[in-house]
Chains A and B, each alone.
Chain A
Amino acid sequence: MSERRPAPGLALLALLLAASAGAESPAIPSGPLTLEAMMARMASTPGVRAEFREEKQLALLAAPLVSEGTLYFIPPSRLARITSRPGASTLVIDGGRMSYTDEAGASDVDLAGSRVARSVVENFVVLFGGDLAALRERYAIEFDAEGARWRMRLTPKAAPLSQFIASVEMRGVGPALEQMLIREADGDLTTTRFQRVETDRRFSPEELARLFPPVASAPAP
């Protein structure tokens, strides 16, 4: 089954946040930590809230680009990334649309309009369903765990994703995701660290309406 897709990176991020477990999260089954267990956990979260600090090291910029804020995720495809530093901005992904608002104004970005974005996004769709077979079809997956500490490395198998992303690496301890590194094909590196992660977060209708302003629904047939 296909579902609407959030943006790359964010989707993965949300997924991994979902996989991470705070104190209140259901525990991953005892025994050796496996990829299968991680994927099963990914598909089961009712919602996630986490604070993040992202540092982008880009060849274009003289200094790293640092952003801080809060991230909200409601499966299967709704994500809000509210940045508080360096400036206030909100990026909302709701199905196939992405809206971005910052101090300079608002704009709608239609993910459907970009073939590359769509191709990138499609590669993450499989993650939402916990579809390990499909994930393996698209990525070379390395997963290793040593005690409670684990590491998962995804390497795109084919273009166009491989043209942009060299690898995505997640590290965590136990059920908690601590860090994600996205290494781009041109060598740029994005490092995101998470704290105060709440998985199994259930959002009230008011919260959802605030985070994801409703789209005018089509009249019923």
Chain B
Amino acid sequence: MTPARSILILLVALGGLTVAVATRLSFGTDITNLMPEGGAGSLADVSRRLTGSDLARSMVLTVGGPDTARAVAGARALAEAIAEHPEVAWLRTGVDDGQMQAVFELYFPRRFYFLASDPTRIAELTTDAALRAQAESAKRELALPVAALGKRLVTSDPLGSFRGILARISGQQPSLDLVDGQFVTRDGRFGVLFLGTRAPAFDGNRQKALLADLSAAFAGVDQRLGGGLLLEWSGANVFAVATERSIRSDVNFVTAFSIVSVFVCLQLFLGSWRNLLLTGLPMLGGLVGATGLGLLVFGRLDGLTLGFGAALIGVVIDYPTHLLCHLCFSPHRADRGLVLRRISPSLALGGLTTIASFAGLGLTAFPGFRQIAFFSAAGVGIALAITLWVLPPLVVSVARVPLASRVVSEHLGRAVLALAPRRKTMAALALGLLALSAPWLPRLVWVDDMSRLWRMDPELLQEDRRVRDRVSQFETGRLVIGVAPDREQAIALGEVVQARLAPLVEAGDLGGFRSLHSFLWPEAVQRANLAALRADAGLPARVQAAYQAAGFREGGLAGFAQTLAQEPPPPLRFEDLTQSPLADLVRPLLADFGGEFAVQTYLQDVKSPEAVRHAIQGLPGVHFFDQRQFLNDVYAQFRSTTVQQIFTGNLLVIGLLLVRYRRLRPALAAFFPSVLVSLLLLGGFAAFGVETNLLHVVGLVMVLGMGVDYGVFVVDSASDPMEMGTTMLSTFLGSITTVFTFGVLALSQHPALRALGVTIGVGILLSFLLAPLSLLLLRVRPGAGRG
């Protein structure tokens, strides 16, 4: 193939894919992709749905001022400024007049449906003694200064059911004061806004733009009102944006450093700008091609897939480096055909083993893993193809081998060849390393607490805590979810959950909870209430008597009998609420889960998660959902699955090596150093007290992929000592550029990136250093293949 044709093919392929990618590219950052799949109603399914729910999109904003009036004015002005923002789904600044009107219109005519959530208790609630107590209570309320507002209810609601409804609903409101219709904190120092975003919390770009707009709107308000206002906020999106910004800053540094260092390094060793640029082609082609294929297969690619996948595709730097080193510096470089025939099988095997190890990741229940596996395997495949079929004609010969390459090649080649016959030394070294690392392995500490993977800005954490303390928010991360096949059953399930949780509040195990029970009871319960009241024919007379005994005028409650006999509106349904101004309040409490319905009870101040779990034990379809614990569990599973899949992937790798070499010894020889490196890495982490996490495992996958490549290269060069120097030069270059690219992440302030950097940096260096140990398992005939 001529160079012109190679370039043409490459440009056409890359151009086509770039157009396809650019026109169809749809990124998302959906953390649920990294959750295991689960059937409808399973905790995984529930969690998947919750991460996209209104709950995860809500923010609390507080506006502080020198006095209440300024804080209120600031909060109100900010609300006006942002209410129409296209990314603001809803905004609550106070109690809506329409809500109170809706409460009256919806519930008052239906008050007899809502006397007792357990209709069997109605007899107990309507005994003469109970009625008398109710009458005395009503009389006491008449003595209150605000009696003028509520005394009309006494005659029409002598059983107090409407007052009960009001009490339940008011318990759902945030514990805030109201000034001029605006929520303010109890101490009057902060106006409070509740805001829902249209974008999911982890949609970095949209959330970043929204937060910037909110800040700008606030700055305008502050300036307009003379300054002195303070905006503080709380929300998952705030952390998502801050973390992304911080990571981006780390990655920007790493990118700049790695580009400069890799260029300098390659220029130093390759001595040709053209060849230097060629080393980037396979990776570029792999990334673009994998993105195009990924879009074709999955429709859209997740940001996490791109992040992890791109990191894994980084292993392909080995292929062009190996090719270039051999084509330019091999003792046989005069015969390009011979060199290509010799190294192509090594490259192909290295690529295929890497694809095999990455493909192992796809055999999991995590949709995100499958994407990552596909993306990285496709990228490696494309990069390998470009290396084998596009690059060779484009590589220019170097008139003079650069000094750096010559020195490294000669010294490393000589050292490895000198080591080859010293089997005992190699064996002692391998055994020594094994003995050094293996005892530490049981002490390896896995940390699956996601909050420890990313460094949160302490000031942001404090701000979040302050805001949440101000509004006494219900813990959004802890809730009890009941899933039922239809809405009515879900509502009924919510009642059972409510009944089970109420004693926990009494016992102090739970600070409180917010549930649908405050707004809606099952239709059957509503009807049973009315039926029970009507069944007691003597009730109106007994009510009258009880009130009369408490000092009410004779005949004052005659209207009660009439009202009770009248046909009320049909029982209240969830749809009635969602079509009313109460919709925002009730919607998060009952969700349609695609054919099933989930009733959600939000918990506050959970002092004993065990007590909550115990309380709901045995209720079918009911889960205690602790978001943090769940995500940590998911990540523990994610990490453990990855470790398992490493073994699966390695079995595939060994299979490929056996197919290629048709003998066990060279197959094991190529594989052995990477195993040793893995054990050393993990043992080292344990010995130095490094808490290991998912990112260490992902890094390990990459290290194994490159480690096997190095093993293959060494094994394939073993029969030709003249090539060994060139092979060691290529592995040296491959490892050092990888260290410059990924190892620098070890300097990151984020534990997750640091984990990736340390694992890859140390792992790849070890892979390079220990690659010659492949020779331990080989029977190398001195001088074989020479010339």
| Chain A residues in the interface with B (C-beta under 8 A) | 1-4, 7-10, 13, 54, 56, 58-63, 65, 67, 81, 83, 87, 89, 91, 95-98, 100, 102, 104, 107, 109-118, 120, 122, 164-165, 182, 184, 188, 215-219, 221
Contact = CB atoms under 8 A, between A and B. Distances in A.
Given A62-B554, A89-B140, A112-B173, 18 more contacts: A4-B177, A56-B143, A58-B142, A60-B142, A61-B139, A62-B552, A65-B139, A96-B179, A97-B186, A98-B146, A112-B95, A113-B169, A115-B97, A184-B148, A215-B187, A218-B470, A219-B465, A219-B469
B123 interface: no
Contacts of A118: 95, 178, 181
A221 B230 contact: yes
Contacts of B553: 59-62
Contact of B137 (A58, A65, A104, A111): A104
Interface residues on B, range: 35 or more
Interface in B169-188: 169-170, 173, 176-181, 184-188
B281 to A, nearest CB: 54
Contacts of A109: 146
A91 to B, nearest CB: 7
Interface string B617-661: 000000000000000000000000000000000000000000000
Contacts of A9: 145-146, 148
A95 B144 contact: no
B166 interface: yes
Contact of A61 (B94, B142, B465): B142
Contacts of A216: 186
Contacts of A56: 142-143, 147
A152 to B, nearest CB: 19
B336 interface: no
Contacts of A188: 148, 151
B56 to A, nearest CB: 25
B552 A102 contact: no
**Residue among B100, B144, B154 with max Cβ neighbours from chain A (10 Å):** B144
A2 B556 contact: no
Interface string B523-553: 0000000000000000000000000000111
**Residue among A13, A54, A100, A217 with max Cβ neighbours from chain B (10 Å):** A217
A128 B494 CA distance: 46
A184 B146 CA distance: 12
Contacts of A113: 95, 100, 166, 169-170, 173
A218 B463 CA distance: 12
28 contacts: A1-B69, A9-B148, A59-B556, A60-B151, A60-B154, A60-B553, A61-B142, A61-B553, A62-B551, A62-B552, A65-B143, A67-B143, A81-B145, A95-B188, A96-B177, A98-B146, A109-B146, A110-B178, A112-B94, A112-B173, A112-B177, A113-B95, A115-B101, A117-B146, A182-B148, A184-B148, A216-B186, A221-B463
Contacts of A217: 186-187, 189
A95 B188 CA distance: 8
A2 B142 contact: no
B718 to A, nearest CB: 68
B144 to A, nearest CB: 7
A212 to B, nearest CB: 12
Interface in B127-151: 137, 139-140, 142-149, 151
B149 A164 contact: yes
A66 B95 CA distance: 34
B72 interface: yes
Given A104-B140, A164-B149, A188-B148, A218 B469 contact: yes
A1 to B, nearest CB: 5
Contacts of B184: 4, 96
B69 A3 contact: yes
Contacts of A184: 148
B74 interface: no
A63 B556 CA distance: 13
B41 interface: no
A61 B552 contact: yes
B364 interface: no
A120 B145 contact: no
Nearest to B146: A7
Interface in B38-79: 64, 68-69, 72
A117 B552 CA distance: 25
A10 B145 contact: yes
**Residue among B97, B145, B176, B465 with max Cβ neighbours from chain A (10 Å):** B145
B130 to A, nearest CB: 13
Nearest to A64: B551
B556 A221 contact: no
B710 interface: no
B145 A218 contact: no
A9 B144 CA distance: 10
Contacts of A67: 143
A89 B179 CA distance: 27
B218 to A, nearest CB: 14
Contacts of A100: 144
B155 interface: yes
Contacts of B186: 95, 97, 215-218
B190 interface: yes
**Residue among A113, A164, A219 with max Cβ neighbours from chain B (10 Å):** A113
A217 B187 CA distance: 5
A110 B170 contact: yes
A117 B230 CA distance: 31
Given A60-B553, A218-B186, A218-B187, A115 B100 contact: yes
B101 to A, nearest CB: 7
Contacts of B64: 221
Given A59-B553, A115-B97, A118-B178, A2 B72 contact: yes
Nearest to A105: B137
Contact of A219 (B144, B179, B188, B466): B466
A126 to B, nearest CB: 12
B509 interface: no
A7 B149 CA distance: 11
A2 B76 CA distance: 13
The 7 closest A-B pairs by CB, nearest first: A112-B178, A96-B177, A115-B100, A9-B145, A215-B186, A218-B470, A217-B187
A164 B143 contact: no
